[in-house]
Amino acid sequence: MIATIADWLGAGCLVAGALLALAAGIGVLRFPDALSRMHAATKPQVLGVLLLLLGIALRLRSPADLGMILLVAVFQLATAPVAAQMIGRAAYRSGRLDRSLLDADELAERGPGSGSAGPA
Amino acid sequence: MTGSPEPAPDAPGPAVVGRGRLGRWRDQAVALGWLVVVWNLLWGDINWANLVGGLLVGAAVLVFYPLPAVSFGGRLRPWPLLAFAGRFAVELVSASLHIARIAVQPGYRPRGAIIAVRLRVATDLNLALTAEVVSLVPGTLILEVDRDSGTLYLHVLDTHGPADLGVARARALAVERRIVRAVGSTSELRRLDVTSPEKGTRP
């Protein structure tokens, strides 16, 4: 009984995670510039991966697998922001952003040191 | 581990300078402990061979890849930690759904903004933790970190005008507040209340 419920919950988590990953993919295609694409590429995917891992954990249920899944989750959470920041910073410094889509840019007002950032 | 050759000139911050060798050894021991746990989880079960292997590998990692000391001066408070985790989960889900929605909404071009958020507690650990959490919640992306002044530069997606910038800034500062409440020291907690939590303008 419990096993059946866990299986169904796991299946639900898997589908939900896959849908979030799909939305992230669509976002990468549709968003206008590099910075907004980074949002789509890194963010729904975090929750998506967590849901997928939860779904897998609910179906596997053995201690060794749970330990491994926990590790994957922790490292995913710890490394995704680092990668996102590196790419975001590179995009900003090389001017790959659409300034007409920005309401404000307080990084540009920072003064010397970031002078090479962006066209105009 | 003979006083690992770390790049000292890189301003380690007042908290680290004041600590003796004992604190440094304690930090190393904690790191070693975590590495052993990770090693055992990777192998999938805990036995003596894995414990010894983990100790060896962990010690090798600490000796050959020394990191600048980030010491933990605060203490863990269970209830604020739980509140932080719960709030994080809620924000993660709602913001993920929001980004997913505007990703599939036909003909919608989201606008963005880059804002500077000056944190009130500018320690390395708090800066890193806040940056991680802010960046994990969809809709905000860290572009640049100014370590000296403790300022985070965020790209915020889907803004509709100046009011949204204030909201995003307040949200980042609220994340910092929850983190300091959960793991910060008492003096850091006090700093939260002294400095007014309004807009982080540059000097």
Query: Is the pTM for the entire model greater than 0.90?
Result: no
B118 and B202 in contact (C-beta within 8 Å)? yes
Residue B203 has pLDDT above 50, yes or no: no
Distance CA B180, CA B182 (A): 5
B121 and B178 in contact (C-beta within 8 Å)? no
Chain A residues touching B115 at Cβ < 8 A = 104, 106
Write the pLDDT tens digit of every residue in A31-81.
888 888 888 777 777 888 899 999 999 888 888 788 888 888 888 888 888
- Residue B20 DSSP symbol: -
Residue B2 has pLDDT above 60, yes or no: no
- The H or E element that residue A63 is part of is helix A63-93
Write the pLDDT tens digit of every residue in A94-112.
877 777 777 777 777 765 4
Other beta carbons less than 10 A from residue B107's beta carbon = 5
* Residues 39 through 68 of chain A touching chain B, CB cutoff 8 Å: 39-40, 42-44, 46-48, 63-65, 67-68
Residue (of A39, A36, A40) closest to A102 by Cα position:
A36
**CB-closest option in B44, B144, B155 to A35:** B155
Q: From the CA atom positions of chain B, what is the Rg in Å?
A: 20
Q: How large is the ipTM?
A: 0.77
> Is B116 touching A (CB cutoff 8 A)?
yes
**3-class DSSP assignment, residue B113:** strand
**3-class DSSP assignment, residue B142:** strand
